[in-house]
């Protein structure tokens, strides 16, 4: 079990890290198990899903679609973490677990890029699991030194610093159905009237053989 040491970066928020909680169990409410479907309530938030990749991979709630992503004891915030090492090919993981975007939520994950080439790319995407759901994505493009955010038909682009450190990324939906991507604790892109419905997560990395992105601490909470 990981010893919590706090984030190496203050807030890089963006929603939707839940998809990669592939190491959870089905313990149900108040299971109290690390890296699992906790369903535990504290004074503020209900933790619907949490995975720190300290268990087997892939678990029952995700599938490997391309490449050979793996849990590494040498990376993570804190280790272990999910390493997306491309070996010159595409690496892609998709959730078999879906979640509702019909109610307020906060979806977060920690992301680092310790090794990369100029053609390296990473994408974290919320996909429609039914016709009524919305779509959103967080993308890093090293060739353009940019982060590109999308919520439905709205886009925003920002400079990206390839520092190799861990950044928390967060995606939120509030009670008024306004969806927002957050980076470094700042709201970077918002859109109102985000469609309700079930969504699933897809995570992808591409690039030259040394390209590696690391995802850790995927968490979904609700008020």
Domains in the chain and their CATH numbers?
A: 18-23+36-212 (2.60.120.560)
Q: How far is Cα 174 from Cα 183, in angstroms, rounded to an integer?
A: 17
Q: What is the pLDDT of residue 19?
A: 40
pLDDT in tens, 107-152: 999 999 877 767 789 999 998 888 777 899 999 998 888 999 999 9
Higher pLDDT, 161 or 141: 141
Q: What is the residue-wise DSSP string for 6-20?
A: --SSS----B--GGG
Q: Tell me: pLDDT of 25 over 70.
A: no
What is the share, in percent, of the chain residues with pLDDT greater than 90?
34
Higher pLDDT, 24 or 186: 186
pLDDT in tens, 175-194: 999 999 998 788 999 999 99
Higher pLDDT, 4 or 78: 78
Helix (H, G, I), strand (E, B) or coil at 99: strand
pLDDT tier, 2 (very low <50, low <70, confident <90, very high otherwise): low
Q: Vertex 183, ends 7 and 176: CA angle to 5°?
A: 115
Choose the weakest-confidence range: 8-17, 62-71, 126-135, 165-174. Answer: 8-17
Q: Tell me: pLDDT of 28 over 60.
A: no
pTM equals 0.77
Q: Please state the separation of Cα 26 from the chain's center in Å.
A: 20
Higher pLDDT, 70 or 132: 70
Q: What is the pLDDT of residue 45?
A: 77
Residue 161 to residues 8, 77, 83, 90, 154, Cα–Cα distance (Å): 15, 18, 20, 22, 23
């Amino acid at each position: 079990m990981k010893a919590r040491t706090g984030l190496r970066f203050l807030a890089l928020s963006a929603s939707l890290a839940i998809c990669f909680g592939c190491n959870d169990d089905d313990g149900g409410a108040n299971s109290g198990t690390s890296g699992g479907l906790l369903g535990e309530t504290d004074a503020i938030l209900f933790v619907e899903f949490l995975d720190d990749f300290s268990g087997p991979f892939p678990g029952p709630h995700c599938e490997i679609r391309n490449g050979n992503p793996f849990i590494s004891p040498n990376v993570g915030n804190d280790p272990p973490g999910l390493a997306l090492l491309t070996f010159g090919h595409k690496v892609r993981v998709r959730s078999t677990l879906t979640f509702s975007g019909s109610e307020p939520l906060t979806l977060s994950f920690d992301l680092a890029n310790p090794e990369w080439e100029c053609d390296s790319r990473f994408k974290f995407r919320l996909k429609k699991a039914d016709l009524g759901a919305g779509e959103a994505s967080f993308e890093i493009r090293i060739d353009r030194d940019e982060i590109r955010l999308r919520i439905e038909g709205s886009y925003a682009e920002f400079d990206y610093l390839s520092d190799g450190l861990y950044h928390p990324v967060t995606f939120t939906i509030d009670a008024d159905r306004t969806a927002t991507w957050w980076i470094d604790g700042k709201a970077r892109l918002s859109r109102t009237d985000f469609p309700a419905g079930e969504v699933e997560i897809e995570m992808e990395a591409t690039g030259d053989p040394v390209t590696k992105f690391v995802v850790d601490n995927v968490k979904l909470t609700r008020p």
